[in-house]
Amino acid sequence: MKFLSIRELRTSTNKLKSLLAKNGNIIVTTNGKPVSLMLPVNEANMEETLSAVRQAEMLRLISSMQMQSVKNGTDKMTMAEIDAEIAAYRRERHAKERLAA
């Protein structure tokens, strides 16, 4: 996998297509830290690639939420406790909506 700084990207935009073809994926960095992932796509695979990226991102978010739940201890909540939290939030939201109206 190729790493390319933002500065290099600015000066290599005309070579981007060949860099992607040669390296597959490119990690774009700023100050040595990754900020973006570039993937080669074409008309035939664009929608499929975008769908796969979205699925991967959702799995990453779900995993992050699960880890945060374990860290907070909320992974041990019963269904009754979850329902009570939802009901309390809804009451609070409806009260704010009435005040705003």
Architecture of domain 1-40: 3-Layer(aba) Sandwich (3.40)
Comparing 8-12, 26-30, 55-59, 74-78, which segment has the lowest mean pLDDT? 8-12
> Which uninterrupted H or E stretch holds 37?
strand 33-38
| The pLDDT value given to residue 63 | 97
Residue 101 neighbours by CB under 8 Å, 6+ apart: none
Provide the whole-model pTM: 0.64
| Main-chain phi, psi angles of 29, to 5 degrees | -120, 155
Residue 97: what residue type?
E
Evaluate if residue 13 carries a pLDDT over 90: no
Mean pLDDT of 11-18: 85
- Encode pLDDT of 35-78 as tens digits: 999 999 989 999 999 999 999 999 999 999 999 999 999 999 99
Evaluate if residue 1 carries a pLDDT over 90: no
| The pLDDT value given to residue 44 | 94
